[in-house]
């Protein structure tokens, strides 16, 4: 979760782009670019003349224009084993390098999930990719099949006040969850139900190979975060000879057993690390009301007694399940630890759970109009398409209970997992293997990763014949673009194919202060900047931390800030001390 870094970068880009001397990523939009690596020896498994081509045009919307993104639609077979036949669309975006003469090729990103939108991700991170990479590659991402702007799973979803928890021994509650799970696809369109068996990672990897070919690259250069490591490793297993460079950051355990992914989690350790860091820092908002874990326990007890906590929206309340989910969401990144501390303080001392609600909303994909994106359901469908097993209901409950007993703080949340109950039967379970013959693959593991524990990266590197493990001693989920010492390692590998020694490591800056003094945090400084811009003549609304968190891709900024407006340039100059990188 890189949204704080992204928001800072977008402000800097917006301000600096008002100057004619500044060149941003993709300053020269590409048209058709020739391949820059040797062509593949075989075609990407499609005989349909309507598939596998890209017709680029400027992305619609201010965000795409600011980031100089181009968009295209890639048509691929619904069933790669039976082309020609039914096809689906894959939405693709790219930020073309500003230096095409030095271009190595395309660098494809997957942000994880599963169910995450690659296009939204690229809109966010194109501005913060190290220049040494952005100058040598077109930055490319896509919405995997079933997700976002691609041919998507379309269901009527409403997660508000509906994050399930289950107490030990609650047979009636379990039966209710099973019934709801068995009916979970009922709200989906008929086309979406037909699509679900085909959204697994094997097919996504085949789509990725069609994309590689359409981009004109003989071999794939790729960065995958979290679930994206699963996709990258599967690609390497299916197409080992087409691997140029794969960065697998925050590796998912290499298994086709979905239950194991729920049992082996690191959120308890992350919560305790957050609490210890907060309790040791006088600048943490909970310093006067803590200890932190006592505050969490107190809020849990308060919701158990009252049923919910109020927010600033009279129509919404925070439930027990949303409290647990809000903490899980914030533990993905140390950049969100101060937000979690503020949220817990407000809920405890002021009886205002608004910020906790916002954190839960960001995890669930809630939109500004109150609807939800399809990331949660798409993730369920993808995971279950990968899993070959459909165990009986009693066994699913046993697996959930095993996960719950291993967690002190999130047991009721984990106990409510119903696995793949209600999913379509698997037709193409994930291909997991050593990817014999692939070029060296860089596997990055972070020691304090709550979502993909470090041991999973060790397992991934050991499984892959050409896997090279790089360890990052830090807290948070994934490391590239968030832990500075990693950026150079990844740059050397992607650009020059220079790998670190297997088993080498780096550490996050020991001096980094997670909890800044009041008014000096990154989000607080962004709010101060908005206040300054408004005071200097721009028509801007008052902003809150919740507003910023609800805008993960910076679209709100780009709607409100027009770098071509002379009034913006004048206000930016007046507020330049508050603009990072100005």
Nearest to 148 by CA among 108, 199, 106: 199
Nearest to 548 by CA among 580, 523, 581: 523
Residues 380, 387: contact at Cβ < 8 Å? Answer: no
The secondary structure of 280-334 as a DSSP string is T-TTSGGGGT--HHHHHHHHHHHHHHHS-EE-SSTT-EE-HHHHHHHHHHHTT-G
Q: Sign of the C-alpha dihedral, residues 191, 196, 198, 199? A: positive
Provide the total of helices (H) and of strands (E) in the chain, helices listed first.
23, 12
Euclidean distance between CA atoms 69 and 58, whole angstroms: 6
The secondary structure of 340-376 as a DSSP string is HHHHHHHHHHS---HHHHHHHHHHHTB-TTS-B-SHH
Catalytic residues: 226, 449, 477
The secondary structure of 127-142 as a DSSP string is TTS-HHHHTTEEEEEE
DSSP state of 559: H
Backbone phi and psi for residue 444, each to the nearest 5 degrees, phi listed first:
-110, 130
**Look-up of token digits 């009041």:** 518
**In the numeric block, which tokens belong to residue 202?**
């094997």
Backbone phi and psi for residue 71, each to the nearest 5 degrees, phi listed first:
-125, 155
Backbone phi and psi for residue 178, each to the nearest 5 degrees, phi listed first:
-65, -45
Return the exposure string of 378-407: e unless at least 16 CB atoms fall within 10 Å of the residue's CB, then b: bbbbbbbbbbeeebeeeebbebbbebbeeb
Residues 135, 102: contact at Cβ < 8 Å? Answer: yes
Euclidean distance between CA atoms 148 and 434, whole angstroms: 31
- CA 225, distance to chain mean position in Å, is 7
Euclidean distance between CA atoms 106 and 109, whole angstroms: 10
CA distances from 578 to 295, 523, 573 (A): 34, 12, 10
- CA 549, distance to chain mean position in Å, is 14
Helix (H) or strand (E) holding 73: strand 69-77
Beta bridge partners, 188, equal: 155
């Amino acid at each position: 979760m890189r949204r704080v870094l992204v928001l800072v970068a977008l402000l800097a880009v917006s301000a600096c782009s008002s100057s004619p001397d500044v060149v941003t990523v993709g300053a020269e939009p590409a048209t058709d670019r020739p391949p820059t690596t040797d062509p593949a020896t075989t075609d990407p498994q499609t005989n349909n003349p309507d598939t596998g081509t890209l017709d680029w045009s400027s992305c619609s919307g201010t965000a795409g224009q600011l980031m100089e993104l181009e968009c295209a639609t890639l048509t691929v077979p619904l069933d790669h084993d039976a082309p020609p036949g039914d096809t689906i669309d894959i939405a693709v975006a790219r930020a073309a390098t500003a230096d095409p003469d030095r271009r190595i090729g395309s660098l494809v990103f997957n942000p994880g999930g599963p169910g995450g939108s690659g296009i939204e991700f690229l809109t966010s991170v194109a501005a913060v990719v190290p220049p040494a990479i952005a100058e040598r590659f077109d930055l490319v991402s896509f919405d995997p099949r079933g997700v976002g702007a691609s041919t998507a799973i379309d269901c009527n979803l409403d997660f508000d006040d509906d994050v399930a928890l289950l107490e030990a021994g609650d047979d009636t509650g379990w039966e209710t969850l099973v019934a709801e799970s068995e009916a979970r696809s009922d709200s989906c369109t008929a086309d979406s139900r037909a699509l679900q068996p085909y959204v697994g990672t094997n097919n996504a990897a085949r789509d990725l190979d069609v994309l590689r070919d359409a981009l004109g690259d003989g071999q794939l250069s790729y960065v995958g975060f979290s679930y994206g490591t699963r996709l990258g490793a599967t690609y390497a297993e299916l197409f080992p000879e087409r691997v140029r460079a794969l960065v697998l950051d925050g590796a998912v355990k290499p298994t086709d057993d979905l239950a194991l992914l729920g049992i082996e989690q690191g959120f308890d350790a992350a919560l305790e690390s957050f609490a210890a860091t907060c309790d040791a820092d006088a600048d943490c908002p909970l310093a006067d009301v803590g200890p932190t874990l006592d505050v969490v326990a107190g809020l849990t007890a308060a919701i158990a007694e009252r049923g919910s906590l109020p927010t600033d929206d009279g129509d919404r309340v925070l439930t027990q399940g949303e409290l647990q989910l809000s903490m899980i969401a914030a533990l993905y990144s140390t950049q969100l630890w101060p937000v979690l501390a503020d949220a817990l303080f407000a809920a405890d001392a002021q009886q205002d759970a608004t910020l906790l609600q916002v954190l839960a909303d960001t995890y669930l994909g809630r939109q500004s109009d109150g609807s939800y994106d399809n990331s949660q359901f798409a993730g369920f469908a993808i995971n279950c398409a990968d899993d070959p097993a459909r165990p009986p209901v009693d066994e699913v409950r046993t697996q959930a209970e095993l996960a719950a007993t291993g967690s002190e703080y999130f047991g009721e949340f984990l106990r409510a997992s119903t696995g793949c109950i209600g999913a379509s039967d698997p037709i193409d379970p994930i291909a997991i293997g050593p990817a014999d013959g692939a070029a060296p693959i860089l596997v990055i593991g972070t020691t304090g990763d709550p979502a993909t524990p470090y041991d999973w990266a060790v397992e991934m590197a050991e499984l892959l014949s050409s896997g090279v493990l790089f360890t990052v001693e830090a807290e948070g989920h994934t490391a590239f673009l968030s832990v500075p010492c990693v950026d150079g390692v990844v740059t050397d590998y992607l650009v020059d194919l220079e790998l670190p020694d297997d088993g080498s490591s780096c550490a996050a800056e020991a001096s980094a202060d997670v909890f800044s003094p009041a008014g000096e945090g990154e989000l607080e400084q962004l709010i101060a900047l908005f206040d300054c811009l408004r005071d200097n003549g721009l028509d801007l609304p008052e902003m809150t931390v919740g507003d910023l968190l609800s805008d993960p891709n910076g679209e709100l900024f780009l709607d409100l800030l027009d770098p071509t407006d002379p009034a913006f340039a004048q206000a930016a100059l007046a507020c330049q001390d508050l603009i990072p990188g100005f």
